[in-house]
Every structure is written in C-alpha cells, then in structure tokens.
A and B are shown apart, each in its own frame.
Chain A
C-alpha cells in the first residue's frame, strides 16, 4: 500500500530536550515536505526537499532541522524544542513539484512541549 508514515503519532516533551520525528514514504517520491498545522493558520511549510541531499527552508524554518540522506526518509529534528513549537506536524511527499502534483500526507504527529 502506498503510504507516508510518521512516528511517533503523539509526543509530549519538555523544553530543550532534543527530539526527532521520522517520516518515510514507499512511493519513490523525489519531493518531500514538512508542515505544521495550527488553528486558524492552516498548514505552513517548515522545510522541503527536492531530492537526496537537497533541502531548503519553507516559511517557518526557525528551530527546526531536516536531513535527506535516503530518498524514502525525511526526518524532522527539533534540537531544543520550545512551547511555541507545540503543534500538529505533517510530512508529505509527491512525485514532483511545479506541475500540480498531488501531495500525499502522513497521519500527523501531535507534539506538546511543556
């Protein structure tokens, strides 16, 4: 089954404790992206990756890091989480970008930073 998986689905952590949210897709997609969803703000892009070893900032990259060492994986790293990073996070992938490609979304990771 074609899918995007994220782990963990729920995470409660404390300020400053490094964490990683994993994302994996099995569709051989080149383009991957991380979004955060906040009430009234919709989805805002954090980082995206055009291919292995190619990443770039989205609209709200502060406080986040990513890496793309393999095509299928695109982990999101919060090196020193703060309460304003409490949010619902989605990973997405698509076979391309720029020509109206559909994005496939993971189930989401709900992060709470206390």
Chain B
C-alpha cells in the first residue's frame, strides 16, 4: 500500500522567509501527488498537483513543488512567507489502485511577524 510521510508536524517561519514543507511518498510507479491546504475552520482546498506533465509544479498563492523520483519526494516551497499562509498543509498521493487518496499527517505552518 502507498504511504505519505510529512516531515515535521509544525513548521515556524518569519514573514518574508522561505517556506519549505517536506513530503516523501512510497510508490513503485510514478503516482499522482497533491498538496492541499486547510485554513482554520475550513475544508481542504487544492494548492497544486503533479500528474507527470512537468516535474516543477506551480500552484496558487505563489506555492510550487518539485517532483523528484530518485528521492521519492514532493516538497512544497514558497520563496517568501506571508501571514495569510498560516494553515495546515497536507501532502497526498493517489493510490495506484486509483480508488482513493492517501493523505499525510499534515504540517501546520506558523508565520511570525
């Protein structure tokens, strides 16, 4: 079965600093990969997804992620954090059986003024 590991349950950065949220997946074939964001008291919404078209994927709000097959990683980055980026971020992989999505445990991002 596929799995997703997000390193760090909490990440704290200063406003204007680089944001790096780590995600590693286990899969024997190139998967579909996603990053979702959850703002307080809201459901999840899609930030970006990898579907094999390009290894560097750009998403909403200035986020991007790079698919690295050799490292089985799909880390999320943003060059300059904004206070509004404070949220919980989930990495997810679509199961090779294709019927479900496996989510990581989530990383809560704190942005300090």
Residues of A within 8 A of B94 (CB): 97-98, 100
Q: A89: shortest Cβ distance to chain B, in Å?
A: 11
Given contacts A99-B32, A100-B32, A100-B51, is CB(A107)–CB(B101) below 8 Å?
A: no
Contact-size category for A:
20 to 34
In the bound assembly, the distance between CA atoms of A35 and B101 in angstroms comes to: 10
Number of A-B contacts (CB under 8 A): 62
Q: Is A66 an interface residue (CB 8 A)?
A: no
* B24-41 at interface with A (beta carbon < 8 Å): 32, 34, 36, 41
Q: A33: shortest Cβ distance to chain B, in Å?
A: 7
Q: Are A42 and B105 in contact (CB under 8 A)?
A: yes
A-B contact pairs, 23 of them (CB 8 A): A35-B103, A40-B9, A40-B105, A42-B4, A42-B90, A43-B44, A43-B90, A44-B103, A48-B99, A48-B100, A56-B99, A90-B43, A97-B99, A98-B98, A99-B32, A99-B98, A100-B34, A100-B49, A102-B34, A102-B49, A103-B44, A107-B41, A108-B42
- The residues of B with any CB-CB pair to A shorter than 8 Å are 4, 6, 9, 32, 34, 36, 41-46, 49-51, 90, 94, 98-101, 103-106
